[in-house]
Amino acid sequence: MKQASKPWRPLTTNCCKIEDQTIFGNLSRCKPSSSPNSFHWLPFSDLSQFSSPISNEDLSHSFASDLYDFQLLYDFQLREVRAITQNFSSNFLLGEGRFGSVHKGYIDANLRRGLKPQPVAVKILNVEGSQGHHLWLAEVIFLGQLRHQNLVKLIGYCYEDEERLLVYEFMPRGTLENHLFRRKTSLPWATRLKITIGAAKGLAFLHGAKNPVIYRHFNTSNILLHSDFTAKLSDFGLAKMVPEGSKSHVTTRVWGTYGYAAPEYMSTEETNNQRVNGFTGHLTTKSDVYSFGVVLLELLTGRRAMDKKRARNEQNLVDWSKPYLSNSKRLRCIMDPRLAGQYSVKGAKEMALLALQCISLNPKDRPRMQTALETLENLQQFKDMAVAYGHWPASPQCARNRTSNNVKIDLRAGANHKRLSL
């Protein structure tokens, strides 16, 4: 069984992330040729010449006409991309991982006629093996066809010699993961709600296609944030399209981030004290819904889906939080303390109940993303703040505080014992 690739190492803002997996099994025979030296718009359908086992035109027809946007992508030359990134300057390095790196760049007014000046993020794929090309092609296939305000916009690509590059719109606030877990300042409740609604819209859009797209890699690292905290889904290297005529699922080798993957297709084994993920199982849109539920828990609690630094019974967020989600009095015990009571009691309760539905063991019990989206949009009306309604600070009888209280009792007992000894 294969091991999932190591995560990105964010240097400033983690703009993109790559995982070791193809989107179509028969793309392994696909080997593109060098790019011609030309300045021209390249229609997306022209890319079909580089993937003989499966035609991109055939892929286009697989999507519903109301979701398919026949946008043109820019076919950048390598020298243009070098100019955009100042020759891939280390000063503009945003993040790097096993399969490549991401640089910030800037497109000026003289680069291409009709292309407006703008900051961009350039993903450079490592193509020493076939995997890098598969990831590159997967992103071009999906983001070249699907356009939505909550999907990161692909501006163009470069396929010159052995280079595989992708040029995206730049997302100035980086990843949700960075804001939730790497910064001292906390995201306000209203901002968290806005982010969840945006991400839900992105997933609902993918699932709403005639042949649904299973994102398969939903986590806080792949939710990018614009300057106004509009959420956009990124990294489509793992995405799968449900083939026409199938029973709404595909069977695939499992890849993804442990802690977010749905239990019906993720298997975990212990090998040499390391977790190894790799199990052939059914993948459906409800698998994405499970991952969405995990992210809801992260937004509620301020904890990571998996955190090895915590006590053993608190490392898995789903297992630890489940007993608290259906009881509003207990829920406040696990709310992110950095919110300091500045959250809607009713809103948090409804979000927790939605998260509980999303992480149901039975996929049939999980809501559709459109239903989840409607539930979240209704939460915007709640303005009751926990700090104003006596729900903050949390009760001292909460399980999360009980340990610290016991420690205090033990310390007092020790101090009294010392006084008696004197």
Query: Residues marked as binding?
Result: 123
Report the C-alpha gap between 155 and 73 in whole angstroms: 6
Annotated binding site for ATP: 123
Report the C-alpha gap between 43 and 69 in whole angstroms: 12
Q: Do residues 349 and 386 touch, judged by C-beta distance below 8 A?
A: no
Report the C-alpha gap between 24 and 33 in whole angstroms: 20
Both structure tokens of 195:
């982010």
Give the residue carrying structure tokens 């000026």: 108
Sheet holding 118-125, edge to edge: 9-10, 93-97, 100-107, 118-125, 164-169, 154-158, 73-75, 41-42
Picking from 166, 159, 214, 202, the residue whose alpha carbon sits closest to that of residue 33 is 159
- The backbone region for 229, taken as left when phi is positive above 0, alpha when psi lies in -120 to 50, beta otherwise, is left
Question: CA torsion, points 51, 55, 61, 66, in degrees to nearest 10?
Answer: 10
Side-chain-side CA neighbours of residue 60 (13 Å): 17
